[in-house]
Structure 1
Amino acid sequence: MGTFKIEGGHQLKGSIQPQGAKNEALQILCAVLLTPEVVTINNIPDIVDVNKLIKLLGNLGVKIEKIGKGSYTFQADEVDLEYLESDAFKVDGRGLRGSIMIVGPLLARFGKGYIPKPGGDKIGRRRLDTHFEGLINLGAKFRYSKEEQFYGVEADRLKGTYMLLEEASVTGTANIVMAAVLAEGQTTIYNAACEPYLQQLCKMLNRMGAKISGVGSNMLIIDGVESLGGTDHTMLPDMIEIGSWIGLAAMTKSELTIKNVSWNDLGIIPSVFRKLGITVEKQGDDIHIPAHTNGYEIQSFIDGSILTISDAPWPGFTPDLLSIVLVVATQARGSVLIHQKMFESRLFFVDKLIDMGAKIILCDPHRATVIGHDFKSTLKAMTMTSPDIRAGISLLIAALSAKGTSTIQNIEQIDRGYENIDERLRAIGAKIERVE
Structure 2
Amino acid sequence: MASFEVIGGKRLKGDIFPQGAKNEALQILCAVLLTPEPVTISNLPDIVDVNKLIELLDNLGVKVNRTAPDTYTFQADDINLDYLQTDSFVKLGRSIRGSVMILGPMLARFGQCKLPKPGGDKIGRRRMDTHFIGLEKLGATFSYDTHDSFFHIETKGLKGVYLLLDEASVTGTANIVMAAALAEGTTTIYNAACEPYLQQLCRMLNRMGAKISGVGSNLLTIEGVEKLGGTEHRLLPDMIEIGSFIGMAGMTGSEITIKDCQIPELGLIPDTFRRLGINMEYRGDDIYIPAQDHYEIDTYIDGSILNVSDHTWPGFTPDLLSIALVVATQAKGTALIHQKMFESRLFFVDKLIEMGAQIILCDPHRATIIGQNKQVPLKGITMTSPDIRAGVALLIAALSAEGRSVINNVEQIDRGYQNIDGRLNALGAEIRRL
TM-score greater than 0.5 by the shorter chain: yes
2:388 counterpart residue number: 389
CA contact (8 A) 1:312 1:318 kept: yes
CA-to-aligned-CA distance 1:317-366 (integer Å, 9 cap, x gap)? 00000000000000000000000000000000000000000000000000
Please give the alpha-carbon distance, in whole angstroms, between the structure 2 residues aligned to 1:422 and 1:86.
35
1:209 is matched by which residue type in structure 2? G
- Matched with 2:409 is 410
Structure 2 residue matching 1:315: 3-state secondary structure: coil
Cα shift readout 1:65-100 (whole Å, capped 9, x = no counterpart): 000011000000000011112232122211111000
Give 1:156 shift. 1.5
Q: Tell me what 2:325 maps to.
A: 326
Give the distance between the partners of 1:90 and 1:419, measured in 2 at CA: 25
| Structure 2 letter corresponding to 1:132 | F
| Residue type of the alignment partner of 2:21 | A
Q: Report how many residues are paired.
A: 434
What SS class does the counterpart of residue 10 from structure 2 fall into?
A: coil
Aligned residue for 1:256, secondary structure, equals strand
Which amino acid is 2:119 matched to? Answer: G
Greater Cα offset, 206-215 or 87-96: 87-96
Aligned pairs (5 A) from 1:154-165: 154-165=154-165
- Counterpart in 2 of 1:434? 433
- Structure 2 CA distance for aligned equivalents of residues 96 and 59 of structure 1: 15
Structural mapping, 1:19-30, within 5 Å = 19-30=19-30
Query: Equivalences for 1:284-323 in 2 at 5 Å?
Result: 284-293=284-293, 295-323=294-322
Q: Superposition pairs for residues 332-371 of structure 1, below 5 Å? A: 332-371=331-370
Aligned AA (2:354): D
- Find the aligned partners of 1:280 and 1:347 in 2 and give their Cα distance: 27
Answer yes or no: is the 8 Å Cα contact 1:140–1:155 preserved in 2. Answer: yes
Map of 1:144 onto structure 2: 144
Structure 1 residue 172 displacement after superposition: 0.3
Q: Given that residues 273 and 280 in structure 1 are in contact (C-alpha distance below 8 angstroms), is that contact kept between their aligned partners in structure 2?
A: no
Letter of the 1:135 counterpart: L
SS in 1 for 2:32: helix
- Matched residues in 2 for 1:191 and 1:95: separation? 29
1:15-414 equivalences under 5 Å are 15-293=15-293, 295-414=294-413
SS at match of 1:74: strand
Aligned counterparts of 2:88 and 2:419: Cα–Cα separation in 1: 29
Counterpart amino acid of 1:103? L
Structure 1: distance between partners of 2:261 and 2:120: 26
Distance 2:275 2:372 in 1: 17
| Structure 2 unpaired stretches of 5+ | none
TM-score (norm 1): 0.99
Instruction: Provide, for residues 413-436 of structure 1, a one-character-per-residue CA deviation record: whole Å limited to 9, x for no partner.
Output: 00000000110001100011101x
Instruction: For residue 113 of structure 1, report the CA deviation from its aligned partner.
Output: 1.5
How large is the Cα RMSD of the aligned pairs? Answer: 0.5
One-letter code of the match for 1:339? Answer: H
Q: What SS does the corresponding residue of 2:160 show, helix, strand or coil?
A: coil
TM-score normalised to structure 2 length: 1.00
Distance in 2 between residues matched to 1:54 and 1:324, nearest whole Å: 28
Give me the whole-angstrom Cα distance separating, in 2, the residues matched to 1:153 and 1:217: 29
1:130-158, Cα deviation, whole Å (9 max, x unpaired):
00000000000111111010001111210
Aligned AA for 2:285? D
CA distance in 2, matches of 1:194, 1:152: 28
Partner residue in 1 for 2:419:
420
Offset of residue 385 of structure 1: 0.4
- Contact residue 15 and residue 258 of structure 1 kept, 8 A: yes
| Aligned partners of 1:392 and 1:413 also within 8 Å | yes
Counterpart of 1:357 in 2: which secondary structure? coil
SS of equivalent residue, structure 1 residue 384: strand
Structure 1 counterpart of 2:50, one-letter code: V
For 1:415, the aligned partner's letter is D
Helix, strand or coil for the counterpart of 2:148? coil
Alignment identity in percent?
70
Q: Which residue identity does 2:91 align to in structure 1?
A: V
CA distance in 1, matches of 2:426, 2:343: 36
Contact (CA 8 Å) 1:173, 1:192: kept in 2 or not? yes
- Distance in 2 separating the partners of 1:134 and 1:87: 28
Q: Is contact 1:254–1:291 with CA below 8 Å preserved after alignment?
A: yes
CA–CA distance in structure 2, aligned partners of residues 343 and 47 of structure 1: 23
Residue 241 of structure 2 aligns with an amino acid whose one-letter code is E
- Give yes or no for contact 1:95–1:118 (8 Å, CA) kept in 2: yes
Aligned letter for 1:155?
A: T
- CA separation in 1, counterparts of 2:270 and 2:194? 19
Secondary structure of the equivalent of 2:108? helix
Instruction: Give the 3-state SS of the residue equivalent to 1:99 in structure 2.
Output: helix
Alpha-carbon distance in 2 for matches of 1:397, 1:143 = 43
Instruction: Supply the AA of the counterpart residue of 2:261.
Output: V
* 1:434 alignment partner AA: R
| SS in structure 1 at match of 2:427 | coil
Distance 2:59 2:397 in 1: 39
TM-superposition CA deviations, 1:273-318 (whole Å, max 9, x none): 010111121110000000002x000011011110000001000000
Name the amino acid aligned to 1:181.
Answer: A
Divergent runs of 4+, >6 A: none
